[in-house]
Structure 1
Amino acid sequence: MTVTLRDGQTPIPAAASPATAPPAAALDLSVVVPCYNEAANVAPLVAALDTALAGLAWEVIFVDDNSPDGTAAAARALAQHDPRVRCIRRIGRRGLASAVIEGALASSAAAIAVMDGDLQHDETILPAMLDAVRSGRADLAVGSRFAAGADAGGLSSPWRHRLSESGIRLAQSFLPVRLSDPLSGYFLLSRALFERLAPSLTGQGFKILLDLVLTAGPGLRVAEVPFRFRAREAGESKLDVLVLVQFAGLILDRLVLRRFLGGVVPLRFIAFALVGALGVLVHLAVLEAGFAGLHLHFELAQSLATVAAMAFNFALNNQVTYRDQRLRGPRVWSGLLLFMLVCGIGAIANVGIAQALYAQHTPGLAAGATGAVIGVVWNYAVSATLVWRAR
């Protein structure tokens, strides 16, 4: 087929329509690998998958959160020679859960596996996990570090062991199904099931498996496949105590906010408000220390307390509330100044609205509470838009 041009120009062959393109082999499995600073592990992981998945039609999707070590470049270099390798480089979006969702929704395979990019997950159990789901024995297959026959030796330090054990005990008390390793980052399920659950996932934090299980509910059939959790060879560990804080927040969101409040109040807002409440305590402590302890003028002590509380709120929000979008390097200082400006305007709005209501004969406590709530909502909405905006 050709396209005829005017004025006697040379005809140009038309591109083949999708209907005439040769059919591609259907993929059995997409392996989604969320990663940050894992450049050294990309090639070894692809080589390991090539051996483990021999005989299967598969692809690997690296979802990189704009790693400074060139993880995306390493994946794309492999993709030049191996069409099974794909890369999604995300700019302005961070977080393991959202990376998994984005990578999984980019897949067209019948099944989706999720594994870390640090080589600690044993790729040789992927065929067994796939068989458990394809055979219909399970809806979800989980690679477990703690099931019978497993080895969690890759948790190299006693601190990491204790952190994992604490999280597992907490999760097991809330989960609708029994799992020996609810904090595992290694699992496999059908794409159809993932797409059904995806709209209801929070997309926040590091424990996407927990979110999936809580979203699916008690009817979910789970198969656990034990594996040896290897020691990390390269890259950075993402496990720290704040991951457990986010994990507790996920449980709060699933079991309280969505169940009783219908998801109307975002978890971030609850966290932001709680940080603000702690900031009040910091404010009072600094005020007392400056005014009563150091005998400063009240105006100076109050000013120092206000700045200290704002700095405290910013630091804690940056580490917890907006952990997946936290500011780093020089942006911390510009973010702090902008946050103080936003909160200063919020304080003016708080006082102004409270005074206006009081002038209309609203009881003092009610007027003050209304002003405070409006101030918190202002601070949350504007700081989310200006301070921690996606970049």
Structure 2
Amino acid sequence: MPELTVVVPTFNEADNLSALVGELTQALDGLDWEVLFVDDDSPDGTADRARALAQHNPRVRCLQRLGRRGLASACIEGMLASSAPCLAVMDGDLQHDPALLRPMLETLRGGETDIVVGSRHLDGGGVGDFSAYRQWVSRVGDRLSRAVLKARLTDPMSGFFMLTRPALMACLRNGVSAIGYKLLVDLFASAPRPLRAAELPYTFRSRVAGHSKLDSKVVLDYLALLTEKLVGRFVPVRFLAFSAVGGLGVGVHLAVLWAVFRGLGLAFVPAQLLATLTAMTFNYVLNNSLTYRDRRLRGWRFLGGWLSFTLACSVGAVANVGIAAYLYQRETFWIASALSGVLVGAVWNYAVTSVYTWRR
């Protein structure tokens, strides 16, 4: 049984694997270790490259995931697929220095620490050739994380860390969200008790091959993670996102109605039907791209999803009006009646479409 498993989530990292295995072999010489590449079905053949390496190196393993995406969830699946008592997470793009793994492991062996974090912000560390924009994003992310962290870290956005299996299992059983890319924040925020943490400095290296995965969707995932940790025990984050999209849909509905009814002179009823259908389509496309991006529908499934979504929302609209009318007839204040109808319709739309439109 290896003492250490290095979990490396990958997507289109085929050109980096050989070099990374070579650096790990040199850095961890004399230790019992393995590296587990968890690949989200990369189109560049990363999984095939990892399996080819494993044919000649028993320390290399590959876990290929089909139909699933996400760095945090890939790391968790990789760690659960290991039997090692110590678990490290690092990127596959050669920007994390494997030489730090040995001092991380030595720190964990002392028994006084649950997790060791590679920090770019301690003395002796650095962010390398980060652009000014990426440095700004990292600073903002650091500040936002303080709302949910149960520890003081200099680099909570780090993707390079090592922890013990008992610490991992405690966090998982206490509700790790596995949303997006920042698993470290998720672990600290989910720990049933504050994790005993240590930080070691390292300098972020330049990318050798591949492309950065930092984009607007990564930022949205991070905001969703923070929201989940703040209010997720009370209201599902997906429901909040679904409701926000619905609010935008109301604006689209009114804009289309004004354009075709007042601008083009179309009769009110057909104008209202056209505006309703347009708003439903807008909501469906946005929810498919953002709210349910991990279950995104494509091809013919996209069309089928649109049909089920519009049907469910049509029933929700009837329920909305019916509940509001019933309460108003019972002499409930008209605003309260309207909001009650909206809430019932929103809950219905969310519940039904999550089961039938974007079912797992």
Q: Do Structure 1 and Structure 2 share a fold, with TM-score over 0.5?
A: yes
- Output the CA distance in 2 between the equivalents of 1:66 and 1:335: 24
- Asked whether the 8 Å contact 2:171–2:192 carries over to 1, the reply is no
Distance change in 2, residues 1:60/1:275 (3 Å) = same
User: Structure 1, residues 200-251: CA drift from partner, whole Å, max 9, x if none?
Assistant: 2012221110011111266322211111212222233221233233222222
Query: Which residue matches 1:310?
Result: 280
Report the CA distance between 1:254 and its aligned residue.
1.6
Q: Letter of the aligned partner of 1:90 in structure 2?
A: R
Query: Which residue matches 1:23?
Result: none
Report the CA distance between 1:130 and its aligned residue.
1.2
User: Structure 1, residues 22-56: CA drift from partner, whole Å, max 9, x if none?
Assistant: xxxx3110111112222222222222211111111
Distance change in 2, residues 1:163/1:290 (3 Å) = farther
Q: 3-state SS of the aligned residue for 2:36?
A: strand
Report the CA distance between 1:173 and its aligned residue.
4.8
Selected match of 2:29 from 49, 54, 73:
54
Distance change in 2, residues 1:257/1:53 (3 Å) = same
Residue 319 (1) aligns with residue 319 (2): no
- Asked whether the 8 Å contact 2:13–2:46 carries over to 1, the reply is yes
User: What's the TM-score, normalizing by structure 1?
Assistant: 0.82
Query: Which residue matches 1:115?
Result: 90
- Asked whether the 8 Å contact 2:179–2:222 carries over to 1, the reply is no
- Output the CA distance in 1 between the equivalents of 2:282 and 2:219: 21
Distance change in 2, residues 1:311/1:41 (3 Å) = farther
Which structure would you say has the larger Rg? 1
Query: Which residue matches 2:156?
Result: 182
Distance change in 2, residues 1:147/1:277 (3 Å) = same
Aligned pairs, number: 358
Report the CA distance between 1:190 and its aligned residue.
0.4
Extract unaligned runs of 5+ from structure 2.
none
Query: Which residue matches 1:15?
Result: none
Segment drifting more, 145-154 vs 326-335:
326-335
Query: Which residue matches 2:7?
Result: 32
Query: Which residue matches 2:209?
Result: 234
Report the CA distance between 1:118 and its aligned residue.
1.5
> Map of 1:1-391 to 2, 5 A cutoff?
26-155=1-130, 157-199=131-173, 200-216=175-191, 219-258=194-233, 261=234, 265-327=235-297, 332=302, 335-352=305-322, 354=324, 357=326, 361=330, 363=332, 368-390=338-360
User: Structure 1, residues 68-109: CA drift from partner, whole Å, max 9, x if none?
Assistant: 222221211222222222222222322111111111111110
Distance change in 2, residues 1:149/1:295 (3 Å) = farther
Report the CA distance between 1:327 and its aligned residue.
3.8
- Output the CA distance in 1 between the equivalents of 2:328 and 2:355: 32
User: What's the TM-score, normalizing by structure 2?
Assistant: 0.89
Query: Which residue matches 1:13?
Result: none
Q: Which runs of 4+ in 1 moved over 6 A?
A: none
Query: Which residue matches 1:5?
Result: none
Report the CA distance between 1:57 and its aligned residue.
0.9
Q: Letter of the aligned partner of 2:11 in structure 1?
A: Y
What's the RMSD between the two structures over aligned residues? 2.5
Segment drifting more, 342-351 vs 358-367:
358-367
Identity of aligned residues (%): 53
Q: Letter of the aligned partner of 1:305 in structure 2?
A: A
Q: 3-state SS of the aligned residue for 1:88?
A: strand
Q: 3-state SS of the aligned residue for 2:221?
A: helix
Distance change in 2, residues 1:57/1:148 (3 Å) = same
Segment drifting more, 213-222 vs 345-354:
345-354
Q: Letter of the aligned partner of 2:355 in structure 1?
A: T
Q: Letter of the aligned partner of 2:189 in structure 1?
A: L
- Asked whether the 8 Å contact 2:238–2:291 carries over to 1, the reply is yes
Distance change in 2, residues 1:237/1:304 (3 Å) = farther
- Asked whether the 8 Å contact 2:242–2:291 carries over to 1, the reply is yes
Report the CA distance between 1:362 and its aligned residue.
7.0
- Output the CA distance in 2 between the equivalents of 1:285 and 1:92: 37
- Asked whether the 8 Å contact 1:205–1:243 carries over to 2, the reply is yes
Report the CA distance between 1:174 and its aligned residue.
4.1
- Asked whether the 8 Å contact 1:116–1:185 carries over to 2, the reply is yes
Q: Letter of the aligned partner of 1:46 in structure 2?
A: V
- Output the CA distance in 2 between the equivalents of 1:40 and 1:328: 29
- Asked whether the 8 Å contact 1:177–1:218 carries over to 2, the reply is no
